[in-house]
Amino acid sequence: MASSTRQSLAAAKEALTPLLAKADLKFAEEIFAVGAAIAESSQLRSILSDPSAEAKAKSGALTAVFGKSISALALEFIGSLVELRWSTGQDLVAAFEQLAVFTVAAIAAKGKGLASVESELFAFKLAVESDQELQFALGNRAASDEAKLALTDALINGKTSPEGAVLIRRAVTGARRRRVAVVLEQFGKQVSAYAERLVATVTVAAPVSAKQLERLEAALANTYGHSLKLNVEIDESILGGIKVQVAGEILDGSLSSRLQQAKLQLA
């Protein structure tokens, strides 16, 4: 990410923060929807991300396209967003998505439901990754968004919070050439970032006790100097031990890994 985009994203979050006190999920959905529309239109993306374009021209384009479909509050915020300097049009699209997730996370945090949203995103990601037919159905470019959402709603009906449902549905419809599981993981990390926590993916061969997870979480928090959210995956192929992925590092203490290392030493 270029420095101009990083600075603009920080400025956008600063501008968004005072609005979060009265923001609702409809507001977050509006940010998602505008970002998706910009992603689909190269012409609109070019106008709104052009640093040489006049603010009046950008504002006029936003009003013409979205003035009747989104709230005045969302239109005002989006107007301030496109006035910032973005390195590319894709950076602007990514910013819309990240700011929408940021808004949903803030709403969940107000309701003490941030941890639940993290768990819901991870659970749906696991469900997608473990079912090839589901992966195909959600990633099929020939299928309509309506069909994908109908399938998604049937899967999450009554099992997620309203905030979790918004993010899961948007991960499905806004994937754009990305795998749905990748988008879900990205959203999960962004929600954890709002909570100022790292995400550690813990892979074990069999279920472990809550006390063991607490000890692991404490040890990792001490190592990284940061609180963590543990996502636990069961993978019998590692045979035993534990594998942890956190902050771009892989701590592999699995039995399968140790056996492989032993084979290499004997070779």
DSSP-assigned beta bridge partners for residue 228: 198
Burial of 152 (0-12, 13-18, 19+ CB in 10 A): buried
pLDDT, averaged in runs of 10, over the chain (267 residues): 84 89 93 94 91 88 93 93 91 95 92 91 94 93 94 94 97 90 94 80 87 87 75 85 76 70 60
pTM of the entire structure? Answer: 0.77
E strands, 134-188, are: none
At residue 230, the pLDDT reads: 86
Encoding tokens for residue 129? 């990754």
At residue 188, the pLDDT reads: 93
At residue 263, the pLDDT reads: 57
At residue 267, the pLDDT reads: 53
Q: Taking Cα atoms as reference points, which of 239, 230, 255, 229 lies closest to residue 206?
A: 239
Q: Taking Cα atoms as reference points, which of 243, 122, 242 lies closest to residue 189?
A: 122
